[in-house]
């Protein structure tokens, strides 16, 4: 899988909505052009090619179709082998050392299971700290197996950057190990001790029923697939079946150790700072800052794309990102997509958030319903910025509804 497209598999669940199963994809070869976002952006925020229609409703239709096509494309570009025996689970991850003893676990892995998000592994002198656990117990166990390929030291802490299913539903795999604490924000524990499987983001984007629709779409598309597409679609349908089975095992497991503001872990000469910079993507985002290594794992608080705001605090988000800017780092290791080294991307995200919030506020003051606001809000200008776009309708509805709640709470 190429570096330019592989990370798209990381966030398929965020891009899924039920209407997708009613669409039939165009030939995938039509999408294999530099104008499409698989070369540059995060799938949560895929944008239309520059020469697509610009009017709002035309753009919405164009983007909706684009997302449907991209869902297929992102599946097809991953590995053609999906039915991996359990004893070979360690091959589902690929670790990249990005600093001495610090490893980036990209969501692309080896393409043998859906990991859905990035993770980070910190190997210390006497123990290991893992950041985020992926989407299922199976993917969490695969991450643990990957750790064993670089060290035999015990895993002492798992850190949750936030509560979302694609980052924290692998927790139970770590909870199976003795002398291991799961660390997260108070808010993350609160959300995960509640009915985490009834969260609107999970029901809309990641629940078994949603995945069953994706699998049905893949299987239905096989009938019209060209020969060069068939093997990929077949393999990805098998991957989706495997993922649906894995979802049945999920038991949300909350952090056993919590913080409200910050917490530091000292290991020899290394300091690992767990910091809540403020509310943004969720009410309890935690970044993992390694001052000596000059890097920070940001989770979904920041990546090269448009953050999901369905559980977010868009009114406070830009200020939180301003605090992120103040960290003395060269590398932002995100929860999705590639590592970011250009701090200017943070300002792009702040500008996007300000535009989105302004438009939603105007819709609210005009008395528009959520659905009416979704139809009127125009984010098409962000199609020229890598990773930004108009939102899929179901995702946008979650985001607008949450922003309405924030306006009413102010």
25 part of a folded domain:
yes
In a domain, 235, yes or no: yes
pLDDT per residue over 19-47, tens digit each? 332 333 333 322 222 222 332 233 333 32
Residue 359 has pLDDT above 60, yes or no: yes
- Helix (H) / strand (E) element for 182: namely strand 181-185
Q: In the predicted model, is pLDDT for residue 323 greater than 80? A: yes
Three-state secondary structure call for residue 91: helix
User: Does 154 reside within a domain?
Assistant: no
Q: Is residue 31 part of a domain?
A: yes
- Residue pLDDT, tens place only, 233-254: 888 888 899 999 999 999 999 9
Please tell me the pTM assigned to this model: 0.80
Chain position carrying tokens 């020899």: 268
Position 335 in a domain = no
pLDDT at 58 over 90: no
| Domains contained in the chain, number | 1
Residue 331 lies in a domain: no
SS3 of residue 235 by DSSP? helix
| 57 C-beta neighbours (distance < 10 Å), count | 11
Report the DSSP pairing between strands 270-275 and 287-290. antiparallel
**Confidence tier at 125 by pLDDT (50, 70, 90):** very high
Tell whether the model's pLDDT for residue 66 goes beyond 80: no
Does some domain include residue 112?
A: no
Whether the pLDDT of residue 293 is over 60: the answer is yes
Structure-block tokens of residue 262? 């910050």
How much of the chain is in helix, strand and coil states, percent to nearest 5? 45, 15, 40
241 within a domain of the structure (yes/no) = yes
**pLDDT for the residue 244:** 96
**Residue pair 157/324 in contact by the 8 Å Cβ criterion:** no
On the CB side of 329, CA atoms within 13 Å amount to: 27
Q: What is the DSSP secondary-structure string of 121-177?
A: EEE-SS-EEEE--BSSHHHHHHHHHHHTTT--SPEEEEE-S---HHHHTTHHHHHTS
Structure tokens at 109: 């892995």
List the one residue out of 256, 98, 69 whose CA is nearest residue 177: 256
Predicted local confidence at residue 238, as pLDDT: 85
Q: Strand 128-131 vs strand 95-99: parallel, antiparallel, or unpaired?
A: unpaired
pLDDT tens column, 137-160 = 999 999 999 999 999 999 999 999
**Domain enclosing residue 67, as ranges:** 3-82+204-247
Q: Return the top range by mean pLDDT from 197-206, 293-302, 383-392.
A: 293-302
């Amino acid at each position: 899988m190429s570096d330019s497209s592989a990370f798209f598999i990381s966030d398929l669940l965020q891009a899924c909505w039920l209407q997708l199963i009613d669409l039939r994809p165009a030939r995938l070869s039509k999408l294999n052009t530099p104008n499409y976002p698989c070369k540059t952006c995060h799938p949560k925020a895929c944008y239309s090619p520059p020469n697509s229609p610009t009017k709002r409703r035309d753009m919405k239709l164009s983007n909706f179709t684009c997302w449907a096509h991209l869902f297929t494309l992102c599946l097809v570009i991953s590995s053609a082998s999906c039915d991996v025996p359990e004893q070979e689970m360690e091959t589902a991850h690929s670790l990249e050392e990005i600093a001495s003893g610090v490893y980036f676990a990209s969501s692309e892995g080896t393409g043998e299971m859906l990991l859905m998000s990035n993770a980070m592994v910190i190997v210390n002198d006497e123990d290991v700290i893992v950041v985020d656990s992926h989407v299922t117990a199976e993917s969490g166990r695969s991450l643990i197996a990957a750790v064993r390929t670089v060290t035999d030291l015990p895993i002492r802490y798992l850190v949750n950057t936030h509560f979302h299913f694609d980052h924290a539903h692998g927790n139970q795999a770590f909870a199976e190990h003795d002398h291991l604490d799961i660390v997260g924000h108070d808010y993350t524990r609160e959300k995960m001790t509640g009915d985490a499987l009834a969260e609107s983001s999970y029901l809309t984007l990641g629940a078994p029923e949603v995945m069953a629709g994706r699998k049905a779409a893949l299987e239905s598309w096989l009938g019209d697939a060209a020969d060069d597409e068939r093997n990929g679609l077949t393999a990805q349908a098998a991957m989706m079946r495997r993922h649906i089975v894995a979802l049945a095992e999920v038991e949300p497991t909350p952090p056993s150790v919590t913080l409200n503001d910050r917490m530091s872990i000292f290991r020899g000469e290394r300091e690992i700072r767990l910091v809540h910079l403020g509310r943004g993507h969720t009410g309890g985002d935690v970044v993992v800052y390694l001052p000596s290594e000059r890097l920070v794992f940001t989770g979904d608080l920041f990546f090269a794309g448009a953050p999901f705001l369905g559980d977010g605090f868009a009114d406070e988000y830009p200020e939180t990102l301003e605090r992120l800017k103040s960290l003395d780092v060269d590398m932002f290791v995100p929860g999705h997509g590639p590592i970011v080294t250009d701090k200017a991307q943070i300002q792009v995200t702040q500008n996007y958030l300000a535009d989105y919030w302004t438009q939603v506020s105007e819709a609210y003051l005009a008395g528009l319903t959520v659905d009416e606001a979704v139809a009127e809000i125009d984010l098409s200008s962000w199609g020229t910025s890598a990773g930004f776009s108009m939102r899929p309708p179901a995702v946008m509805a979650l985001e607008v509804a949450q922003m309405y709640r924030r306006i009413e709470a102010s």
